[in-house]
A and B are shown apart, each in its own frame.
Chain A
Amino acid sequence: MFKQRAKTPVESRNYAAFYILFSGILFLGTVWSVWDEVRTRRPWKEYQTTFHELSAEKLDSLRLLSMQEIDSSQVVELQARLKNAEEGVASEEYVKAVSEKDHLSSGLDLATREWRFARSRSDAAYYQLQKAKLEGRDVAPFRREVDEHEAAIAKHLSEMTELEKKIAGLDEVVNKYKDALAKAQIELQSLFAEAEAYGSKAEKMRNAPIGVRQVMLNDFELTPFQEIKARIDRCQTCHSGWNDELMSEAPQPFTSHPVPELLAKHNPETFGCTPCHRGQGPALTAGFAHGEDDHYWETPILRGNDVYATCNSCHTNESVLKHAKPFVAAKQIVFESGCYGCHEIKGFSDLPKIGPPLNTLTAKVHPDWIFRWVRNPKDYNAHTRMPNFMFSDDQAEAITAYLVSVAKQSSFSFERPRGSFVGGSAAQGKQLFETIGCQACHVVGNATRVRDARATSFDIAPELTRVGSKVSPDWIFDWVRNPRHYNAETRMPSLRLTDVEARHIVAYLTTLKDDRRFPLANLDLNNAEKIARGDRLIREFGCAGCHSIKGMENEGKVSVELSDFGRKKVEQMDFGDTHELSEDDTLDYRENADGTVAVKHTWRGWVFGKFKNPRLYQTERIVQKMPLFTFNEEEIRLIRLLLISMTKDVPLPSYQRAYDKRMQDVEAGRRLTMTYNCVQCHQLEERGGYTVSLYEEAALGPPPLPESQGAKVQEPWLYSFLSNPTTIRPWVNVRMPTFHLTDIEIGKIQRYFLGMSKQDFVLRDYAATPVDQKYVAPGRKLYEVYQCAKCHPTGNNTEGVTAESLAPDLAKAYTRLKPEWIIDWLRDPSKLQQGTRMPTFFTEGQEAPDPTILGGSNEEQIKALSTYVWILGRRSGTVASK
């Protein structure tokens, strides 16, 4: 065809077919490009329309529900009234009254006009009168004329008054009907008002305009070149229901935000979404906006609990965030596992080493035990926090040799002569062990309630199931009498045991034997070469990160700094010889039947694999040193969450909460309470209190420490209590131990409690609190009528009352409690301490239970009771003695 065409002269060739074909293609292309631009690339239009429909539907169903809720009898009644009123308006009386009123009104108009005219005429006549007077003419005719007009005015006026009176009478009749109608209409309308409101909202939703919704943060963060960088989030364009309560169960992208409490402080309208969720804010299609389909987007959306990672961008210094439980849990794991011993981690500096010093080991354990422990600590205690370095026998022997050589230089000796432990009863020791609080931290055998309550894979204190085969009775005696003697920095507190009690405990603990037998290891401990090798190994593997060891005081952290680990590229990660797990696999890490392991070759997969087996990526040429922590998978995911957060992307200060003095005080206190593990027993900021699981009745365990604790107790009392605990609840067997806190540490706890209560440290003489005498007598009466002493016995008068019903002796209140707190407490105890057994006696807006005292006023009675409680102990005796 083209050949033939070539023969045709150019001038006479026909181009019509080409023209039609190409213009057709051009046309279709244009249509496609418009369609692509307007629809395909703007899926949000579809989303928004769907959202508006969905929202309207929900509002409609709410409207129906609201209609159903309307009291049917009321509708019937109102309709009857409406009908009645409508009939009233059509009644003869009403119609007659209206027409009569119309008639009278025109009469009134007429009378009013006449009255005005008369007044004008009177004015004119009066002028003439005055003029005649001045000109000295006869005034009599003018006076007469004025009088005539005045008489006319009076006549019209009385006519008007008469008419007005009549009209007013008719008005009453007319209004009676009109008002009844209006009232019935309004009442009927208001009955349906809610439903109507839903209806109009639904209508509004159906007609709502669609458009891109964006939040612009002009000065959010800095670029790597320290220039201010803006952030634009358009997430709300598709996620239209984020703040709509009705959408809590709607499908994505319409679902409302699951944690509205967080939005109260991070308002998406001013803070955007990506600072927490990550993703590509300006993008308007799901795959690109979430950043998962954009290979070059470095920070794709965080899914599941991982979203809590970004809390750490601003809250690096904080370990407790009320509405970010996974964040808190992750920090606690890192804190308790001592990761910061080997790695530099932002937010975890200046923390104490988590392991014990290793300078006097032979006073405590046999070298063979050290050897077995170094080789694999999990073998002796599967729940120890000490990770397994997987040392060979030779390596373990060398390390043991070094540690024994260090111990030889120590001058440690027991406080009492050897053998002082003799004479205890194992049975009594067991009973003591189980009541005074040892079980709060230490597991023996199957008594794992506290461990289960903690729900971590590791214990916070050594399990003692085999302790009788580990340490000598002399050491146990020395240790439980005064733990600080063997280890001046230990966190093990003193339970203030007497010698007799300590002997019982020794007798019990020495019965806890390892039922396995180990052959003697025949260690060569005096070999200088081995000692030198041990020295090198200890330095290389960073043992000094967790333990203080003589000669290793200046060792640094042996492993990598993690502050920017979250930004590490997958290309920078070495997966060793591992098989690659498919992207679509549900797991990040899979152990195959043939013993090989496959991991996803992603950042997340690498981290997961590393924690499952820290030597996973080791090859013939690349040696790895990280020891094996036996974290469970949930814990691994939490630690990974925190690693995700390890980036240097931090918003500018104006977007952050100020880390002010009070917050610093609170955080310092939190760290101290984690170091001494106060949270093991006391619930603090919704964390911990695990020990309570040991008790049938929570009231028999350690008390929780609510946020109001600082407002509750007097500073001098807290100081003396923490330095030397005294008994407040004699019926509780568990003892508050003595932690031998320094003054600085006690100060931190004081400021922590005060900070939580938003109070400042004030020097104050509590004894000088003025007492209003007028409240004393009614206070005493109330104390008796409300039977306070039933649960708060004074002195030792506790006959008959079951232990869990008892409450502290109020005679001691004046040395312990703050007077303002007593008032707040009486007003509503459960507001200050959730779940307290103390009832409230006073309800706002209601009379006090005994209306005869102080006029039944709640506030007056509260003042009187608090006054009486305040002076109770300062007067000579107990209530009974008065």
Chain B
Amino acid sequence: MKKAVLAVMVVFLSLPVVAGDVTGKVSFEGKPAAPARLRMDADKFCAMAHKAPVLSEELVVNKNGTLKNVLIYVKDGIGGKKFDTPKTPVVFDQKGCIYKPHVLGVMAGQELQVKNSDNTLHNVHALPKVNQGFNQGQPVPGTMKKNFPKPEAPFKVKCEVHSWMGAYIGVFSHPFYSVTGDDGSFVIKDLPAGEYTVEAWHEKYGTQTMKVKVDATGKATVNFSYKAG
């Protein structure tokens, strides 16, 4: 019996894995509303931390007409496959009374280092629906370790001291997710060959889904487009 189990395991492990990258862009059509200026007067430390005006990151349209801070992830098609949780932690920083990054993805169980780089009181109030939430004060600069054990759609994280602070975290059972940056592009690496549903999530404009097929040659492109309004 045990021998048989081992034999099955060995066969299972020695299967060749064909994988590819999914790349794409998230474009934005129409005229975006001008981002609001964040008023940080409530806390002198925050106000002093910035010389230039700080703008809301709720809707950031890049110069090339693409949308920043869109979380792209494989929604369906992975099946019951399991992936090892990365040993490297994800850093979630509070700097100048702004969350960095504004949108991030982590794998279920992966260590999240919540960092306070500011010399003022922050508190991190995470509001997940599936995982256990927390609301923890960080009065002095430092780092605390957290993790979310279950996959979950992006949820909000806010600071109860600084009402303008907000960020979103998505938790996944696999490592296939990415967030668009300053050029609106994304890469999902090493996705095994197969057919998938890829979803894009934006905090203001919601979700869009696309089908994608990653074949043996291992390259695929998906482009999303959000419209103003």
Q: Using CB atoms and an 8 Å cutoff, list the residues of chain A in contact with chain B.
A: 65, 67-72, 75-76, 79, 188-189, 192, 195, 785-787, 790-791, 800-802, 804-805, 829-830, 836-841, 843, 846, 849-850
Query: A790 and B41 in contact (CB under 8 A), knowing A68-B82, A75-B13, A785-B139?
Result: no
Complex Cα spacing A836 to B2, Å = 52
Q: A68-B82, A72-B9 provided; 12 other pairs, C-beta below 8 A?
A: A65-B80, A67-B8, A67-B9, A75-B6, A75-B10, A192-B2, A195-B5, A786-B139, A790-B121, A839-B123, A839-B124, A841-B136
Residues of A within 8 A of B81 (CB): 68
Determine how close the nearest CB of chain B comes to the CB of A842; give it in whole angstroms. 9
Find the A residue at minimum CB distance from B5: A192
Q: Is the CB of A787 within 8 A of B9?
A: no
Query: What 6 pairs across the A-B complex have the smallest Cβ distances?
Result: A839-B123, A839-B137, A787-B121, A837-B160, A786-B139, A841-B137
Q: Is the CB of B13 within 8 A of A791?
A: no
Secondary structure class of chain B's binding surface, majority of residues: mixed
Report if B120 contacts A (CB, 8 A): yes
Q: Is the CB of A839 within 8 A of B125?
A: yes
Which residue of A67, A189, A192, A840 is within 8 Å of B137 (Cβ)? A840
Q: Is the CB of B120 within 8 A of A787?
A: yes
Complex Cα spacing A405 to B194, Å = 86
Find the A residue at minimum CB distance from B141: A849
Residues of B within 8 A of A72 (CB): 9, 12-13
Complex Cα spacing A617 to B137, Å = 65
Determine how close the nearest CB of chain B comes to the CB of A804; give it in whole angstroms. 6
Complex Cα spacing A79 to B136, Å = 45
Determine how close the nearest CB of chain B comes to the CB of A832; give it in whole angstroms. 12
Determine how close the nearest CB of chain A comes to the CB of B44; give it in whole angstroms. 8
Q: Is the CB of A839 within 8 A of B136?
A: yes
Complex Cα spacing A69 to B9, Å = 11
Complex Cα spacing A791 to B42, Å = 10
Report if B76 contacts A (CB, 8 A): no
Q: Is the CB of A849 within 8 A of B160?
A: no
Q: Is the CB of B9 within 8 A of A75?
A: yes
Residues in B128-181 with C-beta less than 8 Å from chain A:
133-140, 142, 144, 160-163
Query: A787 and B139 in contact (CB under 8 A), knowing A75-B13, A800-B43?
Result: yes
Query: A800 and B41 in contact (CB under 8 A), knowing A67-B8, A791-B161?
Result: yes
Find the A residue at minimum CB distance from B137: A839
Complex Cα spacing A836 to B160, Å = 10
Residues of B within 8 A of A791 (CB): 160-161
Q: Is the CB of A805 within 8 A of B139?
A: no
Residues of A within 8 A of B161 (CB): 790-791, 805
Determine how close the nearest CB of chain B comes to the CB of A562; give it in whole angstroms. 41
What are 14 residue pairs bridging A and B, where the CB atoms are less than 8 Å apart in the complex?
A65-B80, A68-B81, A76-B13, A192-B2, A785-B140, A790-B43, A805-B42, A805-B160, A837-B125, A837-B135, A839-B124, A840-B135, A840-B137, A841-B139
Q: Is the CB of B137 within 8 A of A849?
A: yes
Q: Is the CB of B135 within 8 A of A830?
A: yes
Find the B residue at minimum CB distance from A834: B133
Complex Cα spacing A188 to B10, Å = 14
Complex Cα spacing A790 to B144, Å = 21
Determine how close the nearest CB of chain A comes to the CB of B160; give it in whole angstroms. 4
Contact-residue bracket for chain B = 35 or more
Residues of B within 8 A of A841 (CB): 136-137, 139
Determine how close the nearest CB of chain A comes to the CB of B86; give it in whole angstroms. 14
Find the A residue at minimum CB distance from B160: A837
Find the A residue at minimum CB distance from B164: A802
Complex Cα spacing A800 to B47, Å = 11
Complex Cα spacing A69 to B82, Å = 6
Q: Is the CB of A836 within 8 A of B135?
A: yes
Determine how close the nearest CB of chain B comes to the CB of A212; give it in whole angstroms. 34
Find the B residue at minimum CB distance from A75: B9
Complex Cα spacing A787 to B139, Å = 7
Determine how close the nearest CB of chain A comes to the CB of B117; give it in whole angstroms. 14
Complex Cα spacing A65 to B82, Å = 9
Residues of B within 8 A of A71 (CB): 84
Determine how close the nearest CB of chain B comes to the CB of A66; give it in whole angstroms. 10
Complex Cα spacing A65 to B80, Å = 8
Complex Cα spacing A195 to B4, Å = 13
Residues of B within 8 A of A829 (CB): 135
Which residue of B8, B82, B135, B140 is within 8 Å of A839 (Cβ)? B135
Determine how close the nearest CB of chain A comes to the CB of B174; give it in whole angstroms. 13
Find the B residue at minimum CB distance from A785: B139
Residues of A within 8 A of B125 (CB): 837, 839
Determine how close the nearest CB of chain B comes to the CB of A246; give it in whole angstroms. 16
Determine how close the nearest CB of chain B comes to the CB of A775; give it in whole angstroms. 18
Complex Cα spacing A367 to B216, Å = 87
Contact with A along B27-61 (1 / 0, CB 8 A): 00000000000000111100000000000000000
Complex Cα spacing A805 to B12, Å = 55
Contact with A along B111-128 (1 / 0, CB 8 A): 000000000110111000
Query: A67 and B160 in contact (CB under 8 A), knowing A786-B121, A800-B43?
Result: no
Complex Cα spacing A75 to B84, Å = 14
Q: Is the CB of B160 within 8 A of A800?
A: no
Q: Is the CB of A849 within 8 A of B140?
A: yes
Q: Is the CB of A801 within 8 A of B135?
A: no
Determine how close the nearest CB of chain B comes to the CB of A689; give it in whole angstroms. 18
Residues of A within 8 A of B121 (CB): 786-787, 790
Complex Cα spacing A786 to B116, Å = 13
Which residue of A68, A192, A787, A805 is within 8 Å of B163 (Cβ)? A805
Residues of B within 8 A of A843 (CB): 136, 144
Query: A70 and B9 in contact (CB under 8 A), knowing A787-B121, A790-B121, A800-B42?
Result: yes
Q: Is the CB of A802 within 8 A of B163?
A: yes
Q: Is the CB of A838 within 8 A of B163?
A: no
Residues of B within 8 A of A195 (CB): 5
Find the B residue at minimum CB distance from A802: B163
Find the B residue at minimum CB distance from A798: B42
Q: Is the CB of A79 within 8 A of B139?
A: no
Contact with A along B1-25 (1 / 0, CB 8 A): 0100110111011000000000000
Complex Cα spacing A457 to B203, Å = 35
Determine how close the nearest CB of chain A comes to the CB of B135; give it in whole angstroms. 5
Which residue of A69, A786, A839, A846 is within 8 Å of B160 (Cβ)? A839
Query: A802 and B42 in contact (CB under 8 A), knowing A189-B2, A839-B160?
Result: yes
Q: Is the CB of A79 within 8 A of B80?
A: no
Which residue of B134, B142, B163 is within 8 Å of A849 (Cβ)? B142
Complex Cα spacing A79 to B6, Å = 9
Complex Cα spacing A192 to B138, Å = 42
Determine how close the nearest CB of chain B comes to the CB of A761; give it in whole angstroms. 32
